[in-house]
Structures are given as C-alpha cells and as structure tokens.
Chains A and B, each alone.
Chain A
Amino acid sequence: MNIRAIPKKMVPKRLDYERFGSLYALILLFIISSIASPYFLQLQNILNILRQVSYTGIIALGMTFVIISGGIDLSVGSMTALVGGIVILTLNKFGGEIGEIGAIVVAIVVGMLLGLVGGAANGLIITVGKVAPFVATLGTMAIFRSLTLYISNAGEFRSASSMYPELGMGDLIGIPVPVWIMLGLAVVFHIVLTRTRYGRYVCAVGSNERVARYAAIKTEVIRFTSYLVVGLTVAVSAVLLSSRLNSISSTNAGLNFELDAIAAVIIGGTPLTGGSGTIPGTVFGAIILGIINNMLNMLGVSPYLQGTVKGLVIIGAVLIQGKRR
C-alpha cells in the first residue's frame, strides 16, 4: 500500500490526550493524594470514593453519548429526583399486595420506563420540535423538579420497605453494588460506542450532521435515542440512590447531578462540541472529581469552597483540550 515514507508515529497528539489525558491526570492525582494523606490509600476510603461517584458516574456514561452526538442534557438531576420519588411511591403502593420482592421488581421496571419516557420527552422536543438541547433540557429540568415537589408536597418520599435498601447498600466480594453497576455499564457502553454501528453513527452525527445525513444516517433517530440512553442511566442511578437512602428528598435529591455528570464527560476528554469521546475517559473523569472531593474533605477545606475547586478543574480541563487543538 501507499503509505510511503511517513511513519506511524505521526498519530496526532490530541488523540493521545483524548485517550489517555484523563488517565494521566487520574494517576497524578492519585499519587498526590496518597502523599498528602495516609488515610487516602485505605481500601475503605477508595471504595467510598467509588461508591460516591457511581451515581453521577452512571449518568455520565449516558451523558457521554448525548454530548458526542452534539447535544446536552441538563435535566438529569431533577429527573433523578422524579424517577426516584415515583419508584418509592410504586414500591409503597405494591408492597402490601404482591410481597416485597415483587414490589421491588415492579418499582424498578416502572423506574426504567419512566427514565425512558423522560428521555423520550427531551428527545422529541429536541428532534421534532427543533428546540436547542440546552434550552429544551433547561425547560424539562424545571418541569421535572417542580413535578417532584408537587407530588411530594415539597417533602420526602419515604419507602416502607425493609428489603429495598439492601440493593443500594449491598456489596459483592467487598465492592458496593453501585460500583459494579457503573463498571458493568461502562464496559457495555464502551463496546457500543466503539464497536457497533450505533456508536459510529453517534460520533458521525456529532462530528458533522450534514455529512451524516447525506451518508444515509437517520440523524434525528440517532439524536433521539441518545436521550433515551441517558434517560435509562438516570433511572438506574435513581433506583440505586433511592434504595441506598430508602427515601428521596424532593428538594435535594439529584441536585447538581447535571453539573457532575457533564464535568465527568468533559474532564474525560470529550469535547462539548461533540464528534468524539471515550467511555473510559468519562469513568476516569468521574473518579477524578470524586478524589478531589475526598481530598478536600480530608484536608478540612470548607465544603462551600469545594464547588470552586470543581469549577476550576472543569475550566482547566477544557483549557488543556483547547491548547491541544
């Protein structure tokens, strides 16, 4: 073949960053943290961090698809609260009738369906209604939160089940269930993104919608389904969160989840303009955020300042990506 005289090493640098930049950052942060605090490296602490990031980490996996396809979803936080609340209501309603396990299954199914419905609502407004994703999901963010408040009368959804919390509190060979689910989903999503037609099309649509359309890709369908994907991950996260707390606060649950999820995706190397990105990057991004929070706590930094640090990290990540371009 005609690959004359130009060696392989000419692979553009940005690709390297996209693939490994967040991993390098994670390793660096890990080293710094273990030096800064001896407690950091303890297994319990690591597991704690992983569990804490898993709720927004799971959502970030779906968010990766949305952002790669050129969209954004701001409604994930309030959707988490709404889905979580309704899951608990369902659980309480059926608890007496079909036994606890049955009720849990029904509640989870209802939760998943609700996540899909929420995602579909976003997707339809964006693709059929041709509303910009930012505006559309800003609107549904307000709607989902307000519905949650209305249904609960601005109070709390409390589960009466004693078995339900075991799901979110449980662990498998020492590793918490939500962490397993996050890692499992990450593997599946990674394969979907890199090895299937759908994943390829998601990247194509985000890279240049016009080219994709002319290439016989149903761009609207691809964009629509990316919101279903994120809706589903929201539902998974909502179930795990509500089962861990055995309750959902209508005012606080899922607050700022959109920030954390989007931040994880961006720190993971996916450009906000879409077109490319990786799932491992997003996982690393989520863990980076978790470690930063953890360190700030351990070092006794005021919790009110933690948002500042998070913000700086996001801006820094984007700055580095911009430089590489």
Chain B
Amino acid sequence: MQSRMDGMDGVIIKTAGISKEFSGVYVLKDINVEIRRGEVFGIVGENGAGKSTFIKILGGTYTPSEGQIFFDGKPVHIRDAGVAKRIGIAMIPQEVNLVSDLNVYENIFLGNEYRVGAWLLDKKKMMSKARELLHDLHTDIAPDERIDRLSVAQKRMVEIAKAITHDPKVLIMDEPTASLTQYEIDVLLDLMRRLKERGVTVIFISHRLKEVKRVCDRVMVLRDGETVSIDSATDLSEHEIAKRMVGRELDTIFPEKVEAQGTTVLRVEGLSVKGVLHDVSFDLKKGEILGFAGLIGAGRTELAEALIGVRRKTSGKILVHDKECVVNSPGDAIRHGIAYLSEDRQGIGILTSFNLVANTTLVSLGKYCRLLINARKEREKARFYVDAFNIKAPSIETRLEFLSGGNQQKVSLAKSLDPGPEVFILDEPTRGIDVNAKKEIYDFIRQLVMSGISCILISSELEEIIGMCSRVAVMRDGRIAGILEGDRICEEEIMYYATGLKGRAS
C-alpha cells in the first residue's frame, strides 16, 4: 500500500515526554511519538491503558503534567478545545457528546453557525450542508431530526459529520466504530482513506484489531500508560498486536458453544411497536444464547426496549414459562426475571456521578436492605464484580466518571446482572472492551448460560454473534427476516438477510 503522499512526508504532531498524572498517579508516562502528515495512526491498548487520556491531551481536554507537544514543528500549548480547533485538531470523544435538545444540523454547526448578515442564522444553508455531509457518510438521518431520537450509532455518525465540517488537519477518533455495524464501519474506514488522500492525519483508537490493521499505517501499542511499540501496521498481525497489548500470549477468544437445554423460557408472539417493530415472534430456550443481528435501524434495540417495557407495544404477547406477562415498565421486566444491558452506556446504563458500589446495586438495591442499606454486603458484592470482570479502578468508592470507557462498561454489565435474571438481554455487551477482557466476558456469559440463564445477544460485531450464539435472528426494518441455525450461522448468510437479499420482503 502506498501510504504517504510524496513531499508531504513531514511530522504534524510530535510529543516529547508527555506524562499525565491524576492526584499523584501517573496514567501516562513519557510518551514520545511523531505522527506524520496524512497518515492513519492507530492507538491500541487494554481498557485503562491511557489511550483516551493521551488523545484528550492532544484535543485540549486535559493538559499534560509534563512534556511538550509540537504541532507542525512549533511548540504549542493546547490549553483547551478551542485552541485545538484553531490549530486544526478535531476530536470525536469516546462518549457521545451532543446536545440532545437540539436537532442534527444545529449540533453539527454548533459554535460555527452560518449566518446571514451579522445576526441571523442561515438555517437553509446549514440544513443543506448537513444533508450533504450525512449523505457523504451514507446515512439517511434527517438534518432536522432531534438528537434524542437517534440511536447510538446514528449519534456517532452525526459526531463524525460534525468533526469533519471544519476541514481539520488532524482528526482524532476515540473508538468511533464501537456500536457501529459492519456497513457503517466500512463507510467510516472509507472516509478515513479519503481524508488521508486529502492529506488529513487521522488518529484512530479501536479495540477491533481487524479494522486497525485494515486502515492504519502505523500502530502504537500502550500498556499501563507506557508505549510498548510503534510499528508499521503491515508488519503486525492481529495476534501480535493483541499479544503486545496484554503483555502475554492469548488463546482462542470464544469459548465452546453450549447446547440449549430444551424448555422454552421466553416466547414472544406478534410483537409490534408503532413505526419500529412489526409482528416479531421468537422463542428462547433455557440456557440458550440467541443472537440478534441486523443493520443500524433494523429495530434490535427497539425490540429489547419493548421487551423491558419502555416502549409501548401496539400488539403482541410476551410469555415467560408459557404464562403471559404484562411488562409495562423496567420494574415489571425485573419482576419477571428479564434484565437489560443497554448499548447506551452513559445515557442509560450507568450513573457517572455515582460510585462503583452504588452503580453495581442500582437495580438490585432491594436485596441489600431491610430498613437501611447493608453497606457491607453491598461493598462485598461490588468487590466480587471487580474481581470477576477485572475492573480497573482506584477504589470501589470512585465515581464512574473517573473510570475508563471499558471499565465503565464492565460496571454496567455488573449492574444489569446483579438482580439475577433468568433472561438476560445483552445489547452490545463488549462495546469498548479490550480483547482480553472480551474473552473474560464471553467466558462469563458461557458460565451464566451453563447455569441455566438464557441470553439474548444483540451485537453489531458479527464475529461475536457467530462465535457465541446457537441461533441467530436477523432483523431488517423492524421485522425478523430469518432465523439461522447451525452451519447457516455465517457472515454471508447473515448479511443476505440483513440487507434483504434473502428472507421476507418488508
């Protein structure tokens, strides 16, 4: 692959001895790196390795405790996001950061509105420009849609559109592909290549090593805040990258599949939700992992939300152990043994201002109190999950806002699991989780299933669906297009149904 443009071989960002401490603890140590103009620079590492911290320093969210950044050869002090923007650094943070009361185009142009004269906003121009940008990204999001009505993946696309409006010289993306499906990922990777051709430098963080290898020119591996290596991506295999991240050899990632145990635990009949779900029927056996695949907007999260009672059903029945249940609120769902892990970590999953303990027991708090909360019991349980999921945190009293994205995700998982559900709906359970921790979570899910819990696994990572599930329902336009079993669970077959080449027409 021809990786650099001739004559533009210069270094755009150079860091010299960058370190960052939070209250005396170094989470980044002595990072020296030269990022070249027009390259795609990958950063990988375990959860909590310091990836987000590093790019937040480049993007002006944090200032380094020590060290110096050079931009275009000149030393710069990136005091805040404004400075970063002025010198041409755009950043898409790990967590969606849009104003949910505004609509799509208002968010895209927030702070850079087009004007007619000095005061009036040029809405028309912004609308059409936004439509153009979104069209470029191959999404059909309407520019005047309100943000809070978009899915996580759609919000992600809006963030990307927002970041590229200002023609940045450097575009930093922190796990942009988490929760995107293969189709959008392809669009995004293609966009990255196009940007690169225009001489834009892209810094890219991801836990999906396959795409890192596909799109990056060079890859930096971080471990515990230190640089392990910086190498050309072509010289590295996925396996090798993973090994460097973890610091030891990794074995196969997916555990052996478990046979379902026969009896039907959950049956859904003719479930419809106005505008998003049409006549969805399926059943879930004891100890089964039923996968749900499909493109963005296929209605998988909406289905989960209907099952836990946050979306009003227009028709259909939910039967647990052959008994019809009324599920009109998450409380009802919990009572019938249905738990949900949301794909939207910070919007739905966890309370960032609560500590690890209080988040863990948020749903199941009833188990921990008579009149007063039994603090000791609660803390013991939190410690149990810290060990089980290897959660990296300063202490169990730490507020979640100070945990890395992947570690927040693990807490979210613990929270949903703690009520002891019979049916566990996992919506993107490994979003933002590193390869090693992923394996631990897969093993854990397998243990759950072996102990008789049934899982519904919604995932945009086909590999995960294929590796974990004994049956896969493929959704398209709010319907189940087909249910695959055995050998038919493979990438091509799933994509056929997901895109409508096979299965019932919508």
Contact = CB atoms under 8 A, between A and B. Distances in A.
A and B are partners in one complex rather than unrelated chains: yes
B348 A210 contact: yes
Interface string A1-22: 1111111111110010000000
A210 to B, nearest CB: 6
A135 interface: no
Given A195-B372, A211-B349, A203 B387 contact: no
Contact of A207 (B330, B353, B375, B386): B353
A196 interface: yes
A10 B372 CA distance: 28
Given A2-B390, A215-B362, A200 B373 contact: yes
B392 A4 contact: yes
B240 interface: no
B28 to A, nearest CB: 13
Contact of A211 (B23, B348, B366, B372): B348
Given A1-B386, A207-B351, A8 B330 contact: no
B399 interface: yes
A191 interface: yes
Interface residues on B, range: 35 or more
Nearest to B390: A2
Contact of A215 (B24, B371, B396, B415): B415
Contact of B366 (A4, A197, A210, A214): A197
Nearest to B402: A12
Of A197, A201, A275, most buried by chain B (CB within 10 Å of CB) is A197
A203 B399 CA distance: 14
Given A214-B310, A215-B330, A276-B353, A5 B25 contact: yes
Nearest to B308: A214
Contacts of B394: 3, 6-8, 10
Contacts of A11: 23, 395, 397-398
A218 B390 contact: no
B297 interface: no
A214 B353 contact: no
B17 to A, nearest CB: 20
Interface string A169-202: 0000000000000000000000100011100110
B110 to A, nearest CB: 21
B22 interface: yes
Given A3-B395, A200-B365, A213 B330 contact: yes
A3 B340 CA distance: 28
Interface string A209-236: 0111111111000000000000000000
29 contacts: A2-B390, A2-B391, A2-B392, A3-B395, A5-B25, A6-B25, A6-B393, A6-B394, A7-B25, A7-B394, A9-B24, A10-B402, A11-B395, A11-B398, A196-B369, A196-B371, A196-B372, A197-B369, A200-B373, A207-B351, A207-B354, A210-B347, A211-B347, A211-B349, A211-B351, A215-B330, A215-B362, A215-B363, A216-B334
Given A6-B25, A195-B372, 10 more contacts: A2-B391, A11-B395, A197-B369, A203-B354, A210-B347, A214-B330, A214-B340, A215-B362, A216-B329, A275-B353
